[in-house]
Structure 1
Amino acid sequence: MIENKDNGLRLTEYPEGYSVKRLNTADADRLNRLRTGLSRLELARATMELLKNGDESRAMLEAVACAASIYYFSCFGGGSYGPRLRAEKVFKNNKEAKQNHDHWKTIRDQRFGHLVGVGQSIVTLLIADDSDRPIDTKTISMDIDPSAVLPWMKSLYQLIGVALIHIQQEVVEVESRIREAFEKLSPEEFLALPDATIPIPHHERR
């Protein structure tokens, strides 16, 4: 649990009188980004596991693919809080996984992001009577068979797993560097660090 104090935060899992300071190093920033990435990938995996309830309807597949791919690719983008993973590094020893990653990026961009029409066709028709006089219009659409999506859903689930392992390994490395650095701090250097604060999350209206 976290308590707000006049001089910053207190973590209730530690005894009263313990101090909490904020790390503003490059490694601390990297750890923040990696932890954010872990959270997003765990959400992506949990979303995909909704399919285990047996519902493979078009609506369920579409919703799961959209949400999971957005969570997944948020770890590879240039967002201010994300881990900014590089696919070339994550999949450097797995050519097939990199190809699947690129394929899903196309799906995310063109089907869920910008509606370019991947897997979809739509046309408007003009209908005439037997005297060739136009009498009506009709718009029809066709979409990819949901059963064709299932093999690709499996590949997305696997990509999420690979990215999770990659981030978990980097978390261990970064935490080790942070520990080595703070073990060298004197009490005076520790007290000179900024007080711990954390902004309350909120959605800004524009």
Structure 2
Amino acid sequence: MFRIREPTDMPRRLLQRYLPHPETLRRQRSLRFMSHWIGNPALWVLSRRSVANAFLVGLFCALLPIPFQMASAALGAWALRANLPLSVALVWITNPLTMPLIFYANYRLGAWLLEAPARQAPDGLSTRWIADQMLDILPALALGSLVAAVACGLTGSLVIRLLWRWQVVRSWRRRAARRRHKRRGGPPEVGEP
């Protein structure tokens, strides 16, 4: 009548729907040199800990103004035993469309923390202007990015852990309600699952 699932089935099934399969990535020509690493089963586990650590690593790397963010996220996923594809995918929060806004916000945060006046972006923002101003804005950008990366990474990890726990508790309550109704022999009451 009712299929009893493990309490953490729901979050796991939702994530598995969107994440690539390890074999798909191993077959890609550009990733062959990493195939032994990509195939490590520990990096593909979907548990509360591995997903929360993936959010920690992915959000942290996404908010840092560094090159090779995806490689940094992959290395962080390996070090923390986080879910590899999720860690790397979260780096794309800072994409070419969002990067200027995020890094400008990080710069403003850093300027505020350093109690320094923040420079206003010119109407015609160009790479030349950024290169000319880099030495002046770099300390504020670095500090603001580091603070934002730590705060967002820790917050993301905590939120995932709490949401996962809430889902497990909800699933256990539903199972208990089904067992009670099965023992009574009647249909579930109105408002109960």
Q: TM-score, normalised by structure 1?
A: 0.33
More strand by percentage: 1
Q: Which protein is bigger by CA-based radius of gyration?
A: 1
Question: How does the TM-score come out when normalised to structure 2?
Answer: 0.34
